[in-house]
Structure 1
Amino acid sequence: MGPHSWVATSSSSSYSLDENTIRDGEYGMPSNCYCGGRVMRETSRTEQDPGKIYFSCEFRAKPSYHIRKWWDRVIEEELEILHSDIKRVSGEIESLQTHHRAGMEELISELKDGELTFIIMDMRIAEKRISDLKEEHEQSKAEITRLELVIGDFNKK
């Protein structure tokens, strides 16, 4: 069997799939199947794909549509998601820093006008958001490193 994201286990099934349900299982690590079953790790014992690791629905043998994805594809998709998150967070950090720098002259002027309290609150909120985004960015980088190690360990086997 190829790297299908879902498989129909019965051609006579009248089961219909909602487009959003299909999309939910199409990308990254699936946690639940379309049928509601848990998705579990499975190793192929077929001649065609011996030892190949899949993520498959626990009810895959029952008639319906079920998720079955190759492990390596899931990892690739998860890495793509993490890279996308890192780009997004980096962009937000850069935007906040640019906005913060651009507003400094205005803040100095407002300080002179006696609006110190509001400015300090705004600065603290912006600094907290920047700090949160930097932390999220570091967590995403750590997760990518962890996944790259898992892939490296898996490739050694």
Structure 2
Amino acid sequence: MSSSSSSSRLPHRRSVTGVPARCWCGMKLRTYVSHTDKNPCRRFYRCEIAMQRKMESHLFKWIDEALLEETRMVDTKLMSLVDKVKELRNEM
């Protein structure tokens, strides 16, 4: 469970599934590269404001995770369409 200080600091934070288009503040997102030991060369989405004001709550998302989520959403939609086509064929 997160601490009360972190939850009170992030009151407007929302979960974003897939590839995000904009930050919660409305700014467009850019891609950056992590230079940490824990995530070397790993790419992420962030708005420019967040990169300048690191203590503020802005969208952060790893690109690989966003693309995986996006792929899963497309796969789910595709399977739904396949099922509908099968139903329509059975009705003929």
TM-score by length of 1: 0.47
**Deviation string, structure 1 residues 102-149 (Cα, Å, up to 9, x no partner):** xxxxxxxxxxxxxxxxxxxxxxxxxxxxxxxxxxxxxxxxxxxxxxxx
**Seq. identity, %:** 23
What is the alpha-carbon distance in structure 1 between the residues aligned to residue 63 and residue 44 of structure 2? 5
Give structure 2 stretches of 5+ with no counterpart: 1-5
Coordinate RMSD, CA, aligned? 2.2
The number of equivalent residue pairs is 84
Give structure 1 stretches of 5+ with no counterpart: 1-10, 102-157
Compute the displacement of 1:49 (Å).
2.1
1:29 is aligned to 2:19: yes
What is the alpha-carbon distance in structure 2 between the residues aligned to residue 15 and residue 70 of structure 1? 19
1:55 is aligned to 2:45: yes
Equivalent residue letter for 1:27? T
Please give the secondary structure, in 2, of the residue aligned with 1:47. coil
Tell whether the 8 Å contact from 1:43 to 1:51 is kept in structure 2 after alignment: yes
1:46 alignment partner in structure 2: 36
1:94 is aligned to 2:80: no
Q: Relative contact order: is structure 1 or structure 2 higher (C-alpha 8 Å, sep ≥ 6)?
A: 2
Q: Which has the higher helix share?
A: 1
Compute the displacement of 1:15 (Å).
6.8
What is the alpha-carbon distance in structure 2 between the residues aligned to residue 36 and residue 96 of structure 1? 42
What is the alpha-carbon distance in structure 1 between the residues aligned to residue 60 and residue 10 of structure 2? 17
